[in-house]
Structure 1
Amino acid sequence: MTTKPTTLEKGRAVVLAGLMVLSMIAMSVAFAGGAAAATEDSVTFNDQAIGVYNDSDTMVVGPIYAQKGQYLEVTDESGEVVDKTVIPVNATDAAIFATPDGPGEYTATLYSEEGGDEIDDDDAMIYDATIELSDQKSAKGTLEQVTVDTASLLDGDDNDTEFDVVLTDADGNELGRATELTGTNEDITIDTSKITAQTEVTATISSTMNRSRPTMKTPETSSPCPTRPPWTRT
């Protein structure tokens, strides 16, 4: 009797920053028109992986609550400006996309106007994350191990931020995980619960980032990325 090979379909290889991919999920872009914003002017900047919100080489700053004529500036660790924006209308729960120079710590600062007084600021760690998972199969009819081709999380410094690689099925059930990884890793073998049928598996990078920032839950479902408002760029 010939045993039919069991195929593990290629996972979606979702590159999430685990507990970083958080409060931005419910964020939308809106403008307050001529009325004053009900929320105090502020800017929030969350830890994240480059491109995690729109599959490009950008990071997202938000939510932003600001008034027409105020000025938003994003700087890297050395203080160099990587993005600057004049806000043309009152903004409520808005966001912008900015292009970082690479992984590292960045700061978003809201000013009363260009060259004016500082209103609020927030900093975020921006990571370069990569994960790759290929189709796999077993001639034994079951799979009890899955190999992740590549998983990396780079912080722009010593690349010593610890992270896990978590395997889940299409229903979100955890199949197994590799823990306490740092930097770039290849051919990571993860013991799993038995896979006896063709199954789509997702590999996810998850990390608490070891920073003194509020703990946030990983979202149960994905959501469209916030759209960059048509703000004037200087």
Structure 2
Amino acid sequence: MSPKDTQPDTDLIYSKPQVKVADFRFDAQVVEVFPDMIKRSVPGYNTIIDTIGNLAGRYAKDDTNVYDLGCSLGAASLAMRRTIEAKNCNIIAIDNSQEMVERCKIHLNAFKSDTPCEVKHGDILQEPMENASVIVLNFTLQFIAPDKRAQLIENIANALVPGGLFILSEKIYDQDPACKDLLNELHHDFKRANGYSELEIAQKRSAIENVMKPDVLDSHLTRLKQAGFSHATPWFQCFNFFSLVAIK
């Protein structure tokens, strides 16, 4: 494997004008630049990943499973492998992009840990989950059809053992139009500061608007309550990106 294979490339996917901007997909082209894309697009991403590791270390229990749903390249799984000390605890990472799964396996296999991690290609709406002490859904629910989100959250609640932890990170929008516009503009400023051009920002927005449907914060909290979570609170927000924890 050459050094180029192990180092993230620069995200230039939307740097040239496109006659028709196709819907965003987690394909081989995105996989190649994903670490750079996520770093330059999601404020606070490293803080979220580090905290997922911290939380998993606190809540993972002996003889249970830990799930990373929509694992992409395995950043959350890797953070959890570094901190989990529970005995006979297994991480199961699932993603519906075959290209992501193959690269994720490479990333995770490069780190040695007493906590095994199985990476599976599958649909998180269909994959069975059980006996879980921690479940992570990191910027994934927003890509699930809105009418299927409540069922997924219910499945997650049912899979968790009593006292189990659910970590949800998402992009959200504000119901107040003025606040919504302000948060969006601050996010665009963040992208500009990280080197994205106006063309890239506009074309990425066109590519993602049909496939990513964010919710308001209250919708997330309502789903969690209806699914049976006893406690839920946001712990992080930067602009229109947030993360919360919920305890069964």
Q: TM-score, normalised by structure 2?
A: 0.30
Q: RCO higher in 1 or 2 (8 Å CA, sep ≥ 6)?
A: 1
When Rg is computed on C-alpha atoms for both structures, the one with the higher figure is 1
Q: TM-score, normalised by structure 1?
A: 0.31
Please identify which structure carries the higher strand content. Answer: 1
